[in-house]
């Protein structure tokens, strides 16, 4: 369905496809038949008013919702041809492939270096020198290296909020995922640090498929290639970001992006 | 207009007064607590500090009047009894607390366990003593230091378990979730990330529980009781220990010398706990500015 929206030159591979995805918190249904295709190596923004199911939708992609017994997903999420909701899919392997960054930065209570090395060591058998190299390249990838190279042994908790969030991104990309899920990654961070993270995401686009949930519509329009608008658990409109923000097809979308509600 | 304005205004005075009263009440509460602590500390120091010396610390207990009289055997006995109680009780309780925190939320079995642990926590310590007395002393035919350890472990267990669970639940869910999102298993996330971020609080909580049980007397009266010997027969014979010594020397003896030694033992326990607490605070300081 997305292909039709794109210019013929752009042949995009679909990385994630949600099909008839519904979600329940106990008896309460939060998502209704979501269908969404997310192209590879692009940034897809997920917008919508509070409580519309954006984060809920995102949290299905790495099955993090399974931590809570009463939460349940129905339908399919196909990543690289495999329905990851299938019981046979190994969730630890899935989560290496599909990294997630949360709203509040959550550095681990250890040094900056170990924060990045920890997850990497879980997944890869590496020699010491390789670990050091990869930590550096992950920190460079997260545009944090220059700021922390002299305090790698200092606590990750001692960094500023924006640095902590980039540390979390470094930690995630060190596990070499294909996909980055970001759940309002800048809502707890000051505007200057937010811009840094946005630039970072644009630079990461070449390597990863990025899905970002955001409350901030300027952010969505600044960095994303595609935008999906959620309302009351349904996907109202999904299109190129330019189209959504200049000429939305749906009235609800238009009302939301012009700030009439939300 | 001005009149209606005056009508709806409330004078600030009463709100300020209420604020002052509340402030006074809480200040008085704090003062009372500090006063009690200082008073206890002062009586223990005044009566007990004087007898502390090398003989007192390193000689075994003897009948009053004999030379080289000390409480060394009771100190060592208390160390044996408490450490064994910690070895028996703390790992199991910690594991239970972790399990309850991970798997016991909103589950019927979890709630049942939590309820049982709460009841266990409220049991008078003397019951732990009687229980172990029936279980171990009656069946084997002798009191022992080990029976004392077991009764202390029973007291320790629920406190440590609830402390562990409560501390783990205080960590924001995002920390747990973000470590899972990196591909960690639940066990690793809880043990290596979540518990690591609360290690100071955990250690303090566990130490406080240990400190409280180390001074328990009632269960030891049924189990370890008392002996003038050194505790080399910890598993098979009554074993000297400080709480029972304090009880015996201060209330059950006419000798002034033994009264003083009882105070000395009380002083010893108090100072040890104080130092342990301070040391722990020092070790587990939050190293945010590394």
Q: How far apart are CA B216 and CA B276, in angstroms?
A: 17
Q: What is the pLDDT of residues B259-276, one digit of tens each?
A: 999 999 999 999 998 888
Structure tokens at A247: 């000429």
Q: Determine what percent of chain A is predicted with pLDDT higher than 90.
A: 83
The domain locations on chain A are 3-257
Q: Read off the pLDDT of each residue in B274-283 and give the average, rounded to a whole number.
A: 82
Would you say residue B289 has pLDDT above 80?
Answer: no
Sheet (strand A28-39) strand order:
A28-39, A14-25, A71-79, A82-83
Q: What is the pLDDT of residues B141-154, one digit of tens each?
A: 999 999 999 999 99
Q: Do A158 and B181 touch (CB under 8 A)?
A: no
What is the structure's pLDDT at A9? 45
What is the structure's pLDDT at A10? 60
Q: Do A106 and B174 touch (CB under 8 A)?
A: yes
Q: How many CB pairs under 8 A join A and B?
A: 75
Q: What is the overall mean pLDDT for chain B?
A: 90
For residue B104, list chain A residues with Cβ-Cβ distance below 8 A. Answer: none
Q: What is the pLDDT of residues A76-123, one digit of tens each?
A: 999 999 999 999 999 999 999 999 999 999 999 999 999 999 988 888
In a mutational test of the B interface, the residue from A68, A104, A109 whose CB has the highest number of chain B CBs within 10 Å is A109
The domain locations on chain B are 73-240
What is the structure's pLDDT at B2? 56
Whether the CB-CB separation of B210 and B182 falls below 8 Å is answered with: no
Token pair 């605070």 is found at B281
Q: Read off the pLDDT of each residue in A32-46 and give the average, rounded to a whole number.
A: 95
Structure tokens at B120: 């266990």
Nearest Cα to A44, choosing from A223, A242, A169?
A223
For residue B202, list chain A residues with Cβ-Cβ distance below 8 A. Answer: none
For residue A69, list chain B residues with Cβ-Cβ distance below 8 A. Answer: 106-107
> Which CATH number does the domain B73-240 belong to among 1.10.287.130, 1.10.1060.10, 3.40.50.1460, 1.10.3720.10?
1.10.3720.10
Would you say residue A3 has pLDDT above 60?
Answer: no
For chain B, list residues whose CB is within 8 angstroms of any CB belonging to chain A.
106-107, 172, 174-186, 188, 193, 196-197, 199, 287-290
Q: How far apart are CA A33 and CA A27, in angstroms?
A: 16
Residue among B177, B181, B290 whose CB faces A154 most closely: B290
Residue among B176, B178, B287 whose CB faces A155 most closely: B287
Q: How far apart are CA B258 and CA B64, in angstroms?
A: 7
Residues in CB range of B177: below 8 A, 6 or more apart: A64, A67, A100, A102, A106
Whether the CB-CB separation of B153 and B130 falls below 8 Å is answered with: no
Would you say residue A41 has pLDDT above 80?
Answer: yes
Quickly count helices (H) and strands (E) in chain A.
10, 10
Query: How many other CB atoms sit within 10 Å of the CB of residue B27?
Result: 10
Would you say residue A188 has pLDDT above 60?
Answer: yes
CA torsion through residues A245, A246, A248, A252, sign: positive
State the nearest Cα–Cα gap between B288 and chain A, in angstroms: 5
Helix residue spans in B123-255 (DSSP H): 125-132, 138-140, 145-170, 173-181, 186-188, 195-197, 199-214, 218-223, 242-251
Residues in CB range of A56: below 8 A, 6 or more apart: A23, A30, A31, A65, A233
Sort residue A41 into left (φ over 0), alpha (ψ -120 to 50) or beta: left
Considering only alpha carbons, which residue of chain A is nearest residue B190? A108
Q: How far apart are CA A128 and CA A158, in angstroms?
A: 25
State the nearest Cα–Cα gap between A244 and chain B, in angstroms: 31
For residue B197, list chain A residues with Cβ-Cβ distance below 8 A. Answer: 108-109
What is the structure's pLDDT at A203? 92
CA torsion through residues A11, A15, A19, A24, sign: negative
Nearest Cα to A243, choosing from A217, A261, A211, A221?
A221
> Which CATH number does the domain A3-257 belong to among 3.20.20.70, 3.20.20.80, 3.40.50.80, 3.40.50.300?
3.40.50.300
What is the structure's pLDDT at A6? 55
Q: What is the pLDDT of residues B169-197, one digit of tens each?
A: 999 889 999 999 999 998 899 988 999 88
Q: Read off the pLDDT of each residue in A7-14 and give the average, rounded to a whole number.
A: 68
């Amino acid at each position: 369905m997305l292909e039709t929206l794109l210019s013929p030159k752009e042949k995009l591979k679909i990385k994630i496809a949600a099909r008839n995805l519904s979600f329940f918190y106990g008896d309460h249904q939060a998502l209704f038949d979501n269908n969404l295709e997310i192209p590879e190596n692009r940034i897809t923004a997920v917008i919508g008013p509070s409580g519309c199911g954006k984060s809920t939708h995102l949290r299905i992609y790495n099955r993090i919702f399974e931590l809570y017994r009463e939460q349940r997903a129905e339908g399919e999420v196909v990543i690289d041809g495999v329905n990851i909701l299938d019981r046979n899919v190994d969730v630890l392997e899935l989560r290496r492939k599909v990294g997630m960054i949360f709203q509040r930065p959550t550095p681990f209570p250890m040094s900056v270096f170990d924060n990045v090395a920890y997850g990497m060591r879980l997944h890869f058998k590496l020699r010491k020198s390789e670990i050091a190299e990869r930590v550096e390249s992950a920190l460079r990838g997260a545009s944090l290296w220059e700021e922390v190279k002299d305090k790698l042994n200092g606590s990750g908790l001692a960094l500023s909020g924006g640095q902590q969030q980039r540390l979390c991104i470094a930690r995630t990309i060190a596990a070499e995922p294909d996909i980055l899920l970001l759940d309002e990654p800048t809502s707890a961070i000051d505007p200057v640090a937010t811009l840094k993270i946005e630039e970072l995401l644009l630079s990461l686009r070449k390597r990863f498929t990025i899905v970002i949930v955001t409350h901030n519509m300027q952010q969505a329009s600044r960095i994303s290639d595609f935008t999906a608008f959620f309302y009351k658990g349904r996907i109202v409109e999904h299109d190129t970001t330019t189209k959504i923000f200049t000429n939305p097809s749906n009235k609800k979308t238009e009302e939301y992006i012009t700030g009439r509600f939300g | 207009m001005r009149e209606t304005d005056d009508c709806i205004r409330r004078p600030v005075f009463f709100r300020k007064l209420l604020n002052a009263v509340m402030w006074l009440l809480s200040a008085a509460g704090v003062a009372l607590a500090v006063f009690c602590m200082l008073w206890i500390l002062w009586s223990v120091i005044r009566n007990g500090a004087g007898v502390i010396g090398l003989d007192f610390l390193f000689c075994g207990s003897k009948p009053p009047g004999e030379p080289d009289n000390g409480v060394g055997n009771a100190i060592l006995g208390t160390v044996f009894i408490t450490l064994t109680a910690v070895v028996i009780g703390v790992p199991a309780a910690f594991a239970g607390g972790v399990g309850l925190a991970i798997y016991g939320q909103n589950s019927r079995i979890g709630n049942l366990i939590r309820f049982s642990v709460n009841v266990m926590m409220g049991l008078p310590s003397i019951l732990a003593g009687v229980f172990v007395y029936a279980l171990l002393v009656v069946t084997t035919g002798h009191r022992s230091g080990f029976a004392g350890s077991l009764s202390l472990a029973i007291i320790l267990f629920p406190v440590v378990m609830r402390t562990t669970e409560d501390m783990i639940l205080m960590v924001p869910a995002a920390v747990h979730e973000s470590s899972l999102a990196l591909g960690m298993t639940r066990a690793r996330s809880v043990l290596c990330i979540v518990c690591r971020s609360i290690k100071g609080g955990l250690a303090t909580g566990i130490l406080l529980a240990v400190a409280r049980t180390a001074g328990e007397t009632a269960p030891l009266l049924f189990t370890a009781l008392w002996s003038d010997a050194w505790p080399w027969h910890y598993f098979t014979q009554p074993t000297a220990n400080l709480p029972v010594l304090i009880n015996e020397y201060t209330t059950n003896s006419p000798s002034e010398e033994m009264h003083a030694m009882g105070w000395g033992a009380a002083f010893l326990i108090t100072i040890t706990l104080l130092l342990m607490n301070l040391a722990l605070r020092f070790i587990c300081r939050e190293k945010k500015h590394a």
